[in-house]
Amino acid sequence: MQLRLAERRGAGEIPDVLILIEHPRTYTRGRRTKPEELPMGNAWYEERGIEIIDSDRGGLVTYHGPGQLVAYPIVDLAPLGGDVHEFVRGLERVMIGALGEHGVPAQAIEGWTGVWTEGSAPAPGLADAARKIGFIGLHVSRGITTHGLSINVDVDLAPFEWVVPCGITDAAMTSIALETGGPETVAAVGDTVARHFGTVFGRDPKATTAAELGLEAAPSMLKGER
């Protein structure tokens, strides 16, 4: 799906698109993932209903599952200056803004990918260390982005403990629900993320349909960024 949309975006047939989706229990392995980051072995994970998928995105292994928002921006970087690193910084700002609206003060930490709760940079035994709540893994081909970001909304965090998530051994994972102690929905957070994406990147998000994008089947939430 992402590849088809990226091809159409590169041909100028569609505007920038932000796909908002919730995945079944899955580990995705980025291009730099090492076997030791899934220490239990593939069969062990599959016995627990977790599929393992290789991905062409950057980054290392991470977990996706029900209760986690995944957002895939299919974006032409040229109008944004073509700077991949600045686009990643923008995705961090999107997550920080959205998390703040949902009651979780968040930050980016120099030298650590993704978005974190307030606190010090992770270190062994550090009581006030920040916890990771937002993730980024991007792929860029011919100036068009695929893959993107994810935010733990109300997701089972145990599968993160069964791998070395994002290559990090000294940090805890968390979610909006865990931080706030209240219920939260992926749909509500998705709407907030779309709005902040529009603000950060100068877009006007409009809900669109699979047919308008030339897809036979699509996620439950799609935003066209015009």
pLDDT single digits (tens) 122-132: 766 666 789 99
Q: Are 155 and 65 in contact (CB under 8 A)?
A: yes
> Residues 51-73: what's their mean pLDDT?
89
Catalytic residue among 133, 155, 166, 194: 166
> How much is the pLDDT for 208?
85
150: tokens are: 């994810």
pTM of structure: 0.89
Instruction: For residue 226, name the pLDDT band (cuts at 50, 70, 90).
Output: very low
132 is an active site residue = no
Q: Can you tell me the distance from the alpha carbon of 160 to that of 61, in angstroms, rounded to the nearest whole number? A: 10
Mean pLDDT of the chain: 89
The CA-atom distances, in angstroms, between 161 and each of 22, 82, 165, 170 are 20, 36, 8, 11
Torsion over CA of 74, 80, 83 and 86, rounded to 10 degrees? -90
Q: pLDDT higher for 10 or 220?
A: 10
> Residues 160-167: what's their mean pLDDT?
80
* Long-range contact pairs involving 119-123 (C-beta distance under 8 Å, separation at least 24): 122/168, 122/170, 122/171, 122/172, 123/170
Domains of the chain: 2-225 (3.30.930.10)
> Is 37 strand, coil or helix?
helix
Q: pLDDT higher for 143 or 29?
A: 143
Q: Can you tell me the distance from the alpha carbon of 27 to that of 165, in angstroms, rounded to the nearest whole number? A: 10
HSE-up of residue 52 (Cα within 13 Å, Cβ side): 20
Instruction: For residue 223, name the pLDDT band (cuts at 50, 70, 90).
Output: low
Res. 50: pLDDT tops 90: yes
> Residues 83-103: what's their mean pLDDT?
97
Instruction: For residue 30, name the pLDDT band (cuts at 50, 70, 90).
Output: confident
